[in-house]
Amino acid sequence: MNYAEISKETISFLEQCSASLNNSPLNQSVRVLVELRISQMNGCAYCCRLHSEEARKLHISQEKLDVLPVWYTSQSFTSEEKAALQWCESVTRLDKDLEKIRKQLLQYYTERQIVDLTACIAIMNAWNRIAVGLKE
């Protein structure tokens, strides 16, 4: 189903939301790692390929990409990246400990960056659900 053609206005709104994150003070490598991890969690092969390609363009190491599903046991990620990945998984699953994890983010990120990171997570989950649900 060509959802971008069928519902141009709605899909263009999502595209604008995604594009706005390119101007965020959030580190773009962190953004891409989060988008890729969410796509892995949601089983969106199209989005995994897209974000893996973007990660390589940003010079994210292949080693990091290889161990992203087990980031929490890997020494390849910084504390800042691990905090963002924990947040992305917790928000995607809507864990009950969100307040505690959000407070931990403040060690590494400004409030603006946390808002943008959370928006990134929400937008990526929306894209995954559209792509998986409509068989991209």
Which CATH number among 1.20.1290.10, 3.90.25.10, 3.40.50.11890, 3.30.70.260 corresponds to the domain 26-133?
1.20.1290.10
Q: List, for residues 48-107, the tens digit of each pLDDT value.
A: 999 999 999 999 999 999 999 999 999 999 999 999 999 999 999 999 989 999 999 999
Q: List, for residues 20-36, the tens digit of each pLDDT value.
A: 999 999 999 999 999 99
Query: Is pLDDT of 136 > 70?
Result: no
**Rounded to an integer, what is the distance from CA 7 to the centroid of its chain?**
24
Averaged pLDDT, 102-113: 96
| The pair of three-digit structure tokens given for residue 128, joined into one six-digit string | 């995954």
Read off the pTM: 0.94
Query: 91-103: string of b/e by CB count within 10 Å (b at 16+)?
Result: bbeeeeeeeeebe
* pLDDT computed for residue 92 by the predictor: 97
Would you place residue 1 in the very low, low, confident or very high pLDDT band (cuts 50, 70, 90)? confident
